Amino acid sequence: MKWGIIATWAMAYEGISKAAKELAEDSIAGDALEHSIKIVEDNPLYRSVGYGGLPNEQGIVELDAAFMDGDQFNIGAVAGIQDVKNPISVARKLSNHQFNRFLVGQGATAFAQKNGFERMNMLTDESRTIWEKRVEEMKTKDLSPYDGHDTVGVVCLDHRKSMAAGTSSSGLFMKKQGRVGDSPLSGSGFYVDSEIGGATATGLGEDLMKGCLSYEIVQLMGEGLSPQEAANKALYDFEEKLIRRKGKAGAMSLICMNNEGQWGVATNVEFPFVVATEEEEPTVYIANKGEGYSTIIDKATKEQIEKCE
């Protein structure tokens, strides 16, 4: 049986490389996925996930994360959690609970503390400096929140044909306190069914959650579309609808993999992502929207990868 793993953004390369080794040695999908996301959360250089993530308008880092097991549809999620090193691990722990699977704010933080998850101040000096500069700029300029959209999202398939999906994000820079994006929302930020496949999203949560695009892609794969066909159809149909009805659509990118290890991606912005399968070394690709509901996918050059880092 084949294994495979796909993740949003070049920042996932190190985590995916480690997860690929684990999957080749027969690790289960949930473990490989959690380890890959923890590596991104722990890296202070990534400004949109975990330690070093940019804060909300009060200067507080509020983190969102989710974990889903595609065998039993177990979902766990946290939103607005603070001072916890690895939100993905808290989300995974919650996925094993019968009730109270999605905790927010103080409740999520208290749960993590009570259950022994490592606590730390997630605001780095560098991120505080970026925040202070933006606060000053906003006194004189009419700036909207930074529209970066770099959630780490992973879909993973193991040798047993079990699948998992997960996300982790600090959300929009300068977001309102308590703002939650798509990342912890089932169906929008992520979805996985081991009998079909899984998908995760990155982009403007306020638009992604209007379309439940991760669920839509899994359903389309279930109807027989290839992962690439499903991603193209779900995203570009919805983008067209948003533009027709509201006049604009925010940045949206989705990755997906079916339970054969075939993968797909669709995006309306330039979008690096990482794939590793039994047949393919960890590889960074760059996707762009093509003509007529298509996606152009190229292997990233060394220069492009360095630019992403």
Residues that bind ligand GLY (CB under 6 A): 149, 151, 169, 171-172, 181-183, 202-205
Contact 200, 167 (CB under 8 A): yes
* Catalytic residue of the set 8, 109, 140, 151: 151
Amino acid identity, position 9: W
Nearest distance from residue 154's CB to ligand GLY, in Å? 14
Residue 255 makes CB contacts below 8 A (sequence gap 6+) with 6, 7, 8, 153, 155, 199, 200, 231, 263, 264, 265, 273
Helices (H), 83-193: 87-95, 105-114, 125-140
* Residue in 156, 252, 169 with CA at minimum distance from that of residue 199: 156
* Cα dist from 261 to 4, 7, 192, 206, whole Å: 5, 13, 13, 30
**Annotated catalytic, 283?**
no
Q: Which is nearer to ligand GLY, 89 or 169 (CB)?
A: 169
Nearest distance from residue 241's CB to ligand GLY, in Å? 19
Q: Copy the structure tokens of residue 25.
A: 């040695």
- Using CB positions, name the residue nearest to ligand GLY: 181
Contact 157, 3 (CB under 8 A): yes
Q: Which is nearer to ligand GLY, 34 or 64 (CB)?
A: 64
Nearest distance from residue 150's CB to ligand GLY, in Å? 8
Q: Which is nearer to ligand GLY, 158 or 239 (CB)?
A: 239
Q: Which is nearer to ligand GLY, 59 or 250 (CB)?
A: 250
Nearest distance from residue 28's CB to ligand GLY, in Å? 27
Catalytic residue positions?
151
